[in-house]
Amino acid sequence: MIKTISIGDLHGLMIWKVIDPKLYDKIIFLGDYVDSFNISDEQILTNLLDVIQFKKDNNDKIILLWGNHDLQYLFTFNYYGCSGYRDQMYYRLHKIYNDNKELFQMSYQINDTIWTHAGIHQGWYNQRFDKFAKHLPDMPPYLQLNTAFYEKHESLFDIGHRRGGYHNVGGPFWCDIEELKSKPIQYYNQIVGHNRVKDITKIYKYNKEITFIDCLENNTDNPKFYEKEFK
């Protein structure tokens, strides 16, 4: 069995530190380590460095996914307009993310379960990503996504109308919860962050489950992480 624990968007919160890495085979962070309306710059910075060191100390166990809030500091351009953006932190975070970018990835997969920051919409996949994916037919979806991210394929960063963008639906960094509920990618379970929920929330579609875990900011006194075992 593979015992996993998935951690939703941190936004500077240090409550992940209660997790004992000895108890799990995989510890998966869903991205958005930075940006907050009420946490100091220094705590955000220290927490990000601690997450990175946690990965270095437990490299094979820890999966660090990118979130949309992280991308606005990773890249040299910013068209994301994420809430809580800290202009005064850009240069420090840009350096940290780029110095350690090999430690992060866009997607992860075990069996038929895929982790991404915001989720994969079937319409987005068919209309915007399928042509790229067809060039990589022997790769599982998470490797297709990671390869596309390495090549900065523009569809990954689509922002849908519900989030103020110009596309029908968002890509895996911006997919809105209502978009994902309507038409998630078929044949795969998904575990996602990005969409704020009061508690860990599951929906079922096409005989698969989508689990939303961006609930840490609503449960700082009693943090909710998502545990699951895989054969």
Place of tokens 């390869």: 147
- The one-character DSSP state at 184 is B
For 128, list phi and psi in degrees, rounded to 5.
-115, -25
Structure-block tokens of residue 35: 């940006």
**What's the pTM value of the predicted model, to 2 decimals?**
0.96
* Residue 137 pLDDT grade (very low, low, confident, very high; cuts 50, 70, 90): confident
Identify any residues that bridge with 2 across adjacent strands, giving them in sequence order.
Answer: 230
Q: What is the pLDDT of residues 75-100, one digit of tens each?
A: 986 556 788 888 899 999 999 999 99
Query: Is the pLDDT reported for residue 208 higher than 60?
Result: yes
Identify any residues that bridge with 209 across adjacent strands, giving them in sequence order.
Answer: 204
Rounded CA gap, 103 and 56, in Å? 8
Rounded CA gap, 61 and 96, in Å? 21
Rounded CA gap, 51 and 35, in Å? 15
Task: Tell which residue, 226, 229, 230, 228, has the closest CA to residue 214.
Answer: 226
Q: Which domains does the chain have, with CATH numbers?
A: 2-230 (3.60.21.10)
Determine the residue type at 183.
Answer: K
Element (H, E) at 123: helix 122-124
Specify the pairing of strand 189-196 against strand 201-205: unpaired
Alpha-carbon torsion 145, 146, 148, 149, what sign? Answer: positive
What mean pLDDT is predicted for residues 19-25? Answer: 97
Q: What is the pLDDT of residues 24-67, one digit of tens each?
A: 999 999 999 999 989 999 999 999 999 999 999 999 999 999 99
